[in-house]
Structure 1
Amino acid sequence: MLIHDAIALFIEGYFSTCKRSDKTKAAYTTDLAQFRLRFNEDRDLDSIRADELEEWARALTDEGYAAVSVRRKFASLKVFFGYWVRKGVVASSPLWRIRLDLAREQKLPRNIPLADATRLLQAAWVRMSSERCNTKVQRDAPFLASRNLAALEILFATGMRVGELVSLRLSDWNEDEQSIHVKGKGGRHRLAFLTDQRSLAALAEYLPRRRKVLCGHESLFVNLAGGPLSTQGVARVLTGLAAEAGITMRLTPHMVRHTVATLLLRNGADIRVVQEVLGHSSIAMTQRYTHVSKEHLRETLQMRHPSHHMAIDRQAGAHSL
């Protein structure tokens, strides 16, 4: 089978039987398109050799691709070749005969300082209050202010991914339980709870306005055109509110998620609970945040430990021994 036929049939067949997100499908499509360009689309799939794939990995690294990106591309290839091994098209996968020795990047998640997070939320509430009271503003302004406030409060209350936020439907909100049904990565579902009065008040402010929007779909968060709010739209909201709050750091929605995780651990939440809140498939993913909390623990001990406040003359003590 030729490479270009194998890729087209794989995309059609694999994603029709395996439940994967559109984002995952797009990533596989991109990775396999690069593979096709590298190895000539008219070449037989079973002619691909392990040493050629190793050379491609080195070339990607030389071109400046991060180790995590190279690993992802080869993970896509592993699934791709495994699919055709199961179909009997190729006898074995060339990836079984290679090992990628790529150093894992230990990047700590970037957080929003607590003072900046407080100012950000305050800016959203101030905007909501001013638009509610000002009768001269455009008709759309109160809707946008309430939508932005509700989106931001839900992100901070639940730590959900921005993609999960924009995928929420009106029916996902359970008012009796004060919970949100979240459809997470890999088809995993979980409940996110709004446990503070502020986020509940923000959602209560927004929902009546949203239900007046007749747009032919059930997305919880919508844009002014009536379509579902995009992840880029949420990012722009965050940037605008940060500017109003006088925050110079570049903020992203994912930083809100990191901040929630860090603060939960810092305030004593069990790591298994944090794993469930964030929707991590593995506890190892949640453990990344313990590094940040360890730094906080060290700083707290340095400032608060009794030994730093005991006026002991160590030199005098040494003479008495």
Structure 2
Amino acid sequence: MDREYSDFLTFLRIEKRASKHTVSSYEKDIAHFLKYIDQRWNISAAEVSYVHIREYLTELYAEKLARTTVARKISSLRSFYTYLLREESVVENPLTLIHVPRKGKRLPSFFYEEEMLQLFDSVDTETDLGKRNSALLELFYATGIRVGECIKLDVKDFDIYLETLLVKGKGGKERYVPVGSFAAEALTVYINESRPRLKPQDDALFLNYTGKRLTARGIQKILNKLSVDASLTSRMSPHILRHTFATHLLNEGADLRTVQELLGHTDLAATQIYTHVTKDRLREVYRNTHPRA
């Protein structure tokens, strides 16, 4: 099964155009399973039955893994065996009757508008790196892009005149998103004034102090520092800023389909988690609409 395992990973990269992170997750999950069945029963993937999968599940639960982790592992194996069935390497999929444990629903974390204002006010825009940080923060909040999408941005992807951004999303899909006036201004200042002085080594939009393209880790370090400088008690990350973007849009009346398009979600269900509203918004609506409020 070593060849089939390797071919499956190639299938993910080439045919499915999965991201490096996705391929890495599949690789680890399937390798863990193949090692388990070899040590536990001394069998290959082609010999696995429903009974073996059930015992493997029991083992995962005994390790007290999170439901999301178990669900991910089963999903990886289901995809692997679907591929093996297609390639006629197995005669049946042993996971057909296996039900993925339901993920516990968890509301996304987000910042209130007052906290975002506190963040913007705390950014030092007197230095070149400060102007870059301001543009970075404004862009995350204005567009809700993923960190993986942000690090791929080149200067040409930002249209200064139309105030739009070309975003290269998951699976090679591209979308245009509008950039608000505050973010557009911060980006324009950074591109025209600060970026040239950072001595860019390529066309990357966001650079580190050596002129190289910012990495995801570098962006997280910047956001951590901004959070400390603003004296915020909540942690900050690109994903939390993405949650904030979607939450604020919906709280102000944006329709779900529009937010789905802006976020680059292929499934509306992925966007529906943001339909929660803040307590302040609930109180405001109640006071303005209830006859005896």
Give the structure 2 partner of residue 57 of structure 1: 57
Deviates more, 1:155-164 or 1:217-226: 217-226
Aligned residue pair count: 290
Which residue identity lines up with residue 173 of structure 2 in the other structure?
A: R
CA deviations on 1:136-182 (whole Å, 9 max, x unpaired) are xxxxxx22111111110000111111221112112211223211110
CA deviations on 1:82-126 (whole Å, 9 max, x unpaired) are 1121111111211113223x23211001111221111001112xx
In the alignment, is the contact (CA less than 8 A) between 1:179 and 1:191 conserved in 2?
yes
Helix, strand or coil at the partner of 2:96: helix
Larger of the two Rg values belongs to structure: 1
Over the aligned positions, Cα root-mean-square deviation in angstroms equals 2.0
CA distance in 2, matches of 1:236, 1:190: 27
Give the structure 1 partner of residue 287 of structure 2: 303
Superposed, 1:226-237 pairs within 5 Å as 226-237=211-222
Which residue identity lines up with residue 121 of structure 2 in the other structure?
A: Q
Superposed, 1:196-215 pairs within 5 Å as 196=181, 198-208=182-192, 209-211=194-196, 213-215=198-200
Shift of 1:306: 5.0
Give me the TM-score of the superposition, normalised by structure 2. 0.91
Are residues 1:96 and 2:81 paired? Answer: no
Residue among 175, 181, 186 paired with 2:160:
175
Give the structure 2 partner of residue 244 of structure 1: 229
Superposed, 1:1-321 pairs within 5 Å as 2=1, 4-40=2-38, 43-100=43-100, 102-124=101-123, 127-128=124-125, 131=126, 142-196=127-181, 198-208=182-192, 209-211=194-196, 213-292=198-277, 295=279, 297-309=281-293
Helix, strand or coil at the partner of 1:94: coil
Helix, strand or coil at the partner of 2:176: strand
Which residue identity lines up with residue 284 of structure 2 in the other structure?
A: T
Helix, strand or coil at the partner of 1:263: helix
Which residue identity lines up with residue 221 of structure 2 in the other structure?
A: R
Helix, strand or coil at the partner of 1:308: coil
Give me the TM-score of the superposition, normalised by structure 1. 0.83
Q: CA, structure 1 residues 205+297, in 2 after alignment: closer, same or farther (shift >3 Å)?
A: closer
Helix, strand or coil at the partner of 1:160: coil
Q: CA, structure 1 residues 143+90, in 2 after alignment: closer, same or farther (shift >3 Å)?
A: same
CA deviations on 1:169-215 (whole Å, 9 max, x unpaired) are 1221122321111011232211111132x211110111133245555
Query: Structure 2 regions of 5+ residues with no counterpart?
Result: none
Which residue identity lines up with residue 199 of structure 1 in the other structure?
A: A
Q: CA, structure 1 residues 45+114, in 2 after alignment: closer, same or farther (shift >3 Å)?
A: same
CA distance in 2, matches of 1:13, 1:159: 30
CA distance in 2, matches of 1:31, 1:110: 28
Helix, strand or coil at the partner of 1:180: strand
Shift of 1:59: 2.1
CA distance in 2, matches of 1:57, 1:43: 17
CA distance in 1, matches of 2:140, 2:75: 30
CA distance in 2, matches of 1:298, 1:13: 48
In the alignment, is the contact (CA less than 8 A) between 1:302 and 1:308 conserved in 2?
no
In the alignment, is the contact (CA less than 8 A) between 2:12 and 2:18 conserved in 1?
no
What is the percentage of aligned positions where both structures have the same residue?
A: 31
In the alignment, is the contact (CA less than 8 A) between 2:29 and 2:76 conserved in 1?
yes
